[in-house]
Amino acid sequence: MSDEYDVTIIGAGPVGLFAAFYAGMRNLKTLVLEALPRPGGQITALYPEKYIYDVGGFPAILGRDLVTELYKQAGQFGADFKFNERVESLEMLEPGHLKLTTTEAAYSSKTVIIAAGIGAFQPNRLNVAGAAELEGKGVSYVVREREKFLGRRLLVIGGGDTAVDWSLELRNWASEVTLIHRLDYFEAHQRSVIALYDSQVNVHTQNELVGISGKDAVERAVIRDNVTGDERTLDVDDILVCIGFRADLGPISQWGLNLEGRKVSVNRQAETSMPGVYAIGDIAYPQDGVSMNLIAYGFGQATLAVGHASHFIHPKERVTHGHSSQRKGMKYAPTPGSAQS
């Protein structure tokens, strides 16, 4: 087993990366374990080309660019990153000494912060005629390159932020964008919904896809009006499906932590039921608070969890800390005369 770390962060998504940065700010020896081959978690795997709007300082930023900046920020203080290592088990040897076993090695850590997003995930796939046969031939669940939609007729399925945001973004590439949603309202941010209805996107609520056809690629989609029951056929070249994901906690469900469905229960201090173990981001379920699946919200949870982890290790240390402008030795410290936080 390797030398003991002060804190081990499970997950290198945006929230895990920010937690690694803030752990460095608290001068904690930090390890980050990530099951995927690169940082970014769900953003890198599913939304590298999607714009993100809810991060302070960026009116809009591509997912891949946000991950690049967060990874750069997280690495300032020498955190160790291990990719392609899924954590299989977590056990408490004694309070303040935890053992993590991955698919590659075993590690010792005084505290652990679980920032594993929604856990292992796969997109929910369409269960309609032609969907499976034409997947990868016009039917897609992830946008890797926006350019592939240039000049094409696109049908988007879904009613959340992902469906609405992609409809708005890809209207600048596709020759025509149609969005259908089975309900009569959208579950996206209100400002995005307003922009959607003000755009040239063809919007049809209370409609759903019932069939896809084409010889070697998508050519047509059959749409049903859920109010009248009428069906009509659209000529389309691509179908982008944004109907959520199947999440699975995987090994985390076997670690003896208190769970709430597919989430890890935490208190106001981001503490789980195991001493020295914290959970933040989408995977955390606050027992006496509100859960918001936003990157910005996760950043705040990261600072809270790191503060309590630092206090757990060093009881004389305060949970809260001074302003970031007080931290010396930062690789990207402001230049003299610039504004500081």
Domains in the chain, ordered, with CATH?
5-121+246-326 (3.50.50.60), 125-243 (3.50.50.60)
Q: How much is the pTM?
A: 0.74
- Please, what is the Cα angle at 43 between 146 and 19, to 5 degrees? 150
- The tokens 């009116």 sit on which residue? 59
Region 291-308: mean pLDDT is: 92
Contacts of 319 (CB under 8 A, 6+ apart): 307, 308, 310, 311
pLDDT for 1 beyond 60: no
Residue 95: both structure tokens together: 């309070």
Distance CA 16, CA 22 (A): 10
Q: Find the distance separating the first CA and the last CA of the chain, reported in whole Å.
A: 39
* Percentage of the residues of the chain whose pLDDT score is greater than 90: 72
CB 233 within 8 A of CB 208: no
* Percentage of the residues of the chain whose pLDDT score is greater than 70: 92
pLDDT for 76 beyond 90: yes
Region 29-40: mean pLDDT is: 93
Region 149-174: mean pLDDT is: 95
Greater model confidence, 280 or 189: 280
Distance CA 259, CA 114 (A): 13
What confidence tier does 340 reach under pLDDT thresholds 50, 70, 90? very low
pLDDT for 318 beyond 90: no
Contacts of 216 (CB under 8 A, 6+ apart): 137
Region 89-116: mean pLDDT is: 96
Region 238-262: mean pLDDT is: 89
Question: How far is residue 55 CA from its own chain's centroid?
Answer: 13
pLDDT reported for residue 106: 96
Region 80-103: mean pLDDT is: 95
By mean pLDDT, which of 49-58, 71-80, 93-102 is the weakest? 49-58
pLDDT reported for residue 333: 45
Q: What are phi and psi of 32, to 5 degrees?
A: -120, 125
The helix (run of H) or strand (run of E) holding residue 10 is strand 5-10
Region 246-252: mean pLDDT is: 82
